[in-house]
Amino acid sequence: MIRLSAPGKLMISGEYVVLDGAEALVAAVDRRLIALGSRPPIDGSPERGASSPEGAGLPPEALLARQHAEDVLGATDMDLHIDASALRSSDRKLGLGSSSAASAAAAGAVVAYHGGDVAAERRRVLEWALRGHRAIAPQGSGADVAAATLGGLVRFERERAEDARVVEWPAELRVEVVWTGKPARTSELVAKVRALRERDPAAYRGATGPLHAAAEALLGAVLEGDAEETTRAADAHGAAMRGLGEAADAPIVTPLLAEAARL
């Protein structure tokens, strides 16, 4: 039996503008997807599990990530089952990147099946998981895949996704996560931002410019280990996100989120 886990993610900075080339920070969280791999039953009959047509089905990104890994390492007869319940609240997704975590876990399971050290092979796992992700969601950044594969706090650039690396939080910084109880559809928000770019490029540049600057400042403060400056940059980043949402007529920062940020 192969057992692996992959964490969900939270975007810390660089949302939306990471698609334009800005560097982003994305953090792995302590809610994890579990992947279990096993050989098929001795009688050869298929199990009705997550990897079978009758089962819930692996996300297409995960199926492709597994295939990319097998193309390099060799085919497997592994039945792969995914439990993403920790990345949900009842029947609702929490926006923690369950498909990306599944992609990382699926590619990692192939490494483990062939006797490899998954931790030592993280770079190749990241490559395979990114390829699976991009085939299904080419408009995405891939930052969530990097967090699921590498863990920790990750410095990420879309055009150099395979070079993503883990950095450290400032030692004196305390980070807390707030769940509003209302998930957002990222695809819809991104579509509204893209629509703004198409219909009014000047307004788009005016709205994303402050977000670029805030993301750069926040990254710099984190790399310097300056907790106070990180907090100030995070405030500016939140204000820039609100501005982008207003310009794009998109509920990026809801009243509830704005209230939480003021606390």
Contact 104, 64 (CB under 8 A): no
Encoded tokens for 35: 């992947």
**Same structural domain, 250 and 148:** no
What is the CATH number for 120?
Answer: 3.30.230.10
**Same structural domain, 253 and 225:** yes
Task: Note the pLDDT of residue 56.
Answer: 44
**Same structural domain, 116 and 7:** yes
**Same structural domain, 58 and 114:** yes
Contact 242, 258 (CB under 8 A): yes
| Domain of 92, in residue numbers | 2-167
Number of structural domains in the chain: 2
Encoded tokens for 147: 């967090």
**Same structural domain, 89 and 143:** yes
Q: Is residue 179 part of a domain?
A: no
Q: Which helix (H) or strand (E) holds 80?
A: strand 79-83
Task: Note the pLDDT of residue 51.
Answer: 40
- The residues, any chain, with a CB within 8 Å of residue 125's CB and separated by 6 or more, are 69, 104, 107, 108, 111, 118, 149
Q: Identify which of 199, 10, 196, 214 has the alpha carbon closest to the alpha carbon of residue 96.
A: 10
**Whole-structure pTM value:** 0.88
Per residue in 153-208, pLDDT (tens digit) is 999 999 999 999 999 999 999 998 888 888 788 889 999 999 999 999 999 999 99
Question: What angle is formed at CA 183 by the lines to CA 36 and CA 214, rounded to 5 degrees?
Answer: 100
Region 33-51 average pLDDT: 67
**Same structural domain, 41 and 68:** yes
